[in-house]
């Protein structure tokens, strides 16, 4: 069988998988919020881009409109991913669009119109798409909440990195089968996404993925931090704490954001400062050596202790101690 026939079938199935995911998100999923709609649009854009490749192999002289439509799908991936992941950082996955956000569709719209009207410069337009997608993925990676992503979101981000390589590949390695290889890789990405989707789809409609963490797990984390005083362990990391309490790291991060309005490291240091403050308030500890109290609370460097104490209390430890004695 001709390899291109296999590729057409393989990629067509990928497009069908996209339509399945879109249908589930829009018509089956119980909570149709902004983020769900964005995910459906991401999958739609991906389906359009791969469908364009399928038609290209079926009809080599694909119309300019078809090429432009494929470009539009590809170019919208970056902005849609950006807004989707922005939604994961907001309470209840909701956020509002602003007029300034229209700047994100400049490349998709101008490229779509440019391809239809000019009919050439395709390589330049698609290369601009790849650069744009790479830029948006970098923005997502550099976001302070990147480490708090759920397993589904983290998987989606990594697959988009692979997709970037797949779509960029033909423009740097121009030989007869490079475009076909790029299409095959992008279709394989959809297959991976689909099987992960089947695994996580039931959870996508639960409150856990809406940044609403199970109350029992939440209380377990709070008890470990406040009652068991786990923060006293020197150089405690999120990974170590996760293993200790048996709760995934992303849930711990969400709990500290929800309860303490801080990241996990900030929460630990804040509890350590509270510990030192309580010790200093005790009558028999007002003359205690502050540095020793800091080490007992879990700080392993005095510079960190002084910096965090100043940030938490707007006073130096000595000033705080003198205020108590006065």
Q: Domain boundary at 210, 228, 247, which?
A: 210
Same-domain pairing of 147 and 278:
no
Res 209: pLDDT: 45
* 222 in the same domain as 106: no
Give the CATH number, domain containing residue 317: 1.10.10.60
Task: Assign residue 71 the CATH number of its domain.
Answer: 1.20.1070.10
Burial of 212 from C-beta contacts in 10 A (0-12 / 13-18 / 19+): middle
**Residues 45, 47, 49, CA angle at the centre, nearest 5°?**
70
Same domain, 260 and 200: no
Residue 88: per-residue pLDDT: 62
**Token reading at 256:** 């500290």
pLDDT at 210: 43
- In the chain the first and final C-alpha atoms are separated, in Å, by 90
> Does one domain contain both 206 and 61?
yes
Question: Based on the domain organization, do 43 and 133 belong to the same domain?
Answer: yes
Domain that holds residue 306: 215-325
Mark 90-118 as b/e (b = at least 16 C-beta within 10 Å). eeebeeeeeeeeeebeebbeebbebbeee
Same domain, 206 and 227: no
Same domain, 155 and 25: yes
- Residue whose pair of structure tokens reads 């121009």 in the numeric block: 174
Task: Specify the 3-state DSSP secondary structure of 298.
Answer: coil
Domain count, the chain: 2
- Residue at a domain's end among 177, 210, 243: 210
Q: What is the pLDDT of residues 168-181, one digit of tens each?
A: 877 776 665 777 88
pLDDT tens per residue, range 189-216: 999 999 988 887 655 544 444 444 467 7
Phi, psi (deg, nearest 5) at residue 60: -55, -35
Q: Is there a single domain that holds both residue 151 and residue 300?
A: no
* Closest by Cα among 273, 276, 254 to 263: 254
Q: Which pLDDT value is given to residue 208?
A: 42
Point out the residues of the chain with pLDDT beneath 50.
Answer: 91-93, 205-213
Asked whether residue 71 falls in the same domain as residue 151, the answer is yes
pLDDT digit string (tens) for 221-266?
Answer: 999 999 999 999 988 998 899 889 888 888 888 889 888 988 999 9
Based on the fold, state whether residues 20 and 159 are members of the same structural domain.
yes
**Do 269 and 303 share a structural domain?**
yes
Using CA atoms, how far residue 43 sits from 56, 159, 224, in Å, is 20, 12, 40
Last residue of a domain, one of 210, 229, 263: 210
Q: Are residues 233 and 172 in the same domain?
A: no
């Amino acid at each position: 069988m001709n390899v291109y026939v296999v590729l057409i079938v393989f990629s067509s199935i990928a497009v069908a998988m996209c339509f399945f995911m879109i249908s589930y998100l829009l018509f089956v999923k119980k909570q149709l919020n902004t983020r769900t709609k964005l995910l459906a649009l991401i999958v739609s854009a991906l389906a359009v881009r791969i469908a364009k490749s399928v038609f290209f192999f079926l009809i080599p002289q694909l119309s300019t409109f078809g090429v432009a439509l494929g470009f539009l799908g590809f170019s919208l991936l970056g902005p849609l991913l950006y807004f989707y992941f922005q939604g994961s950082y907001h309470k209840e996955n909701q956020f509002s669009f602003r007029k300034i956000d229209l700047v994100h569709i400049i490349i998709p719209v101008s490229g779509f119109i440019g391809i239809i009207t000019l009919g050439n410069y395709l390589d330049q337009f698609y290369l601009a798409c790849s650069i744009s997608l790479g830029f948006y993925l970098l923005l997502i990676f550099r976001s302070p909440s990147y480490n708090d992503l759920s397993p589904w979101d983290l998987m989606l981000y990594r697959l988009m990195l692979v997709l970037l390589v797949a779509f960029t590949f033909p423009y740097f390695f121009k030989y007869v089968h490079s475009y076909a290889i790029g299409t095959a890789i992008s279709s394989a990405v959809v297959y991976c996404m689909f099987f992960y989707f089947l695994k996580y789809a039931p959870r996508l409609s639960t409150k856990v993925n809406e940044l609403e963490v199970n109350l029992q797990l939440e209380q377990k984390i709070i008890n470990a931090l406040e009652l068991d005083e786990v923060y006293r362990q020197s150089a405690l990391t999120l990974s170590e704490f996760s293993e200790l309490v048996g709760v995934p790291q992303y849930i711990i991060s969400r709990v500290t954001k929800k309860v303490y309005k801080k990241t996990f490291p900030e929460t630990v240091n804040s509890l350590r400062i509270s510990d030192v403050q309580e010790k200093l308030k005790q009558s028999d500890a007002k003359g205690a050596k502050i540095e020793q109290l800091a080490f007992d609370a879990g700080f392993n460097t005095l510079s960190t202790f002084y910096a965090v104490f100043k940030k938490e209390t707007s006073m130096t430890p000595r000033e705080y101690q003198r205020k108590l004695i006065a």
